[in-house]
């Protein structure tokens, strides 16, 4: 039922849990949904799995949210409202360069070596 309510008004849908429906490419608004990200973390008992939802309008992300059920954390953001963390206003870094930045990465991707090529860069990757 939730998917059907999101698809009202002829919106498109993209989710790794569903077959790829290229009809979405003809839609002005598309929901991008990962209903369960972090399967390996969940199985390992690491509280880093989440539900992710975003709304893309004319190819541009305009709103999104991430919820981690294990920790109760909720991140919500939109172009109109900015970013909130558990209902409180939050802010992103104002830096415009990667030098000295800290990048949070998927522990699984990090362990598989997918971030190895970035280890020589001027930013820090933390799994």
CATH topology of domain 2-92: Fructose-1,6-Bisphosphatase; Chain A, domain 1 (3.30.540)
What pTM was estimated for this model as a whole? 0.77
Strands, E, within 16-123: which ranges?
Answer: 29-37, 50-57, 60-68, 73-78, 82-85, 88-90, 102-104
- Give domain limits for the chain: 2-92, 93-127
User: Closest by alpha carbon to 38, among 113, 114, 109?
Assistant: 109
Sequential pLDDT tens for the chain (127 residues): 466 666 777 788 878 877 787 778 888 899 999 999 888 888 989 898 999 999 999 999 999 999 999 999 999 999 999 999 999 999 888 878 888 888 888 888 888 999 888 877 788 888 8
Report DSSP state, residue 110: H
Q: What is the CB neighbour count within 10 angstroms for residue 50?
A: 22
How far the first Cα of the chain sits from its last, in Å, is 35
Helix, strand, coil proportions of the chain in percent (round to 5)? Answer: 20, 40, 40
Contact in structure between 34 and 45 (CB atoms under 8 Å): no
- Predicted local distance difference test score (pLDDT) of residue 67: 97
What backbone torsions phi and psi does residue 25 show, to the nearest 5 degrees?
-65, -20
Query: Residue 104 forms beta bridges with which residues?
Result: 126
């Amino acid at each position: 039922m939730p998917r059907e309510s999101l698809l009202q008004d002829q919106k498109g849908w993209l989710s790794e849990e569903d077959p790829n429906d290229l009809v979405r490419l003809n839609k002005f608004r598309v929901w991008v949904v990962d209903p369960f990200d972090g399967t390996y973390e969940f199985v390992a008992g690491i509280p880093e799995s989440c539900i992710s939802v975003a709304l893309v309008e004319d190819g541009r992300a305009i709103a999104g949210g991430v919820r981690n059920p294990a920790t109760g954390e909720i991140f919500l953001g939109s172009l109109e409202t900015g970013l909130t963390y558990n209902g409180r206003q939050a802010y992103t870094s104002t830096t415009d360069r990667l030098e000295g930045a800290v990048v949070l990465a998927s522990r699984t991707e990090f362990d598989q070596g997918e971030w190895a090529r970035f280890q020589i860069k001027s930013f820090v990757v933390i799994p």
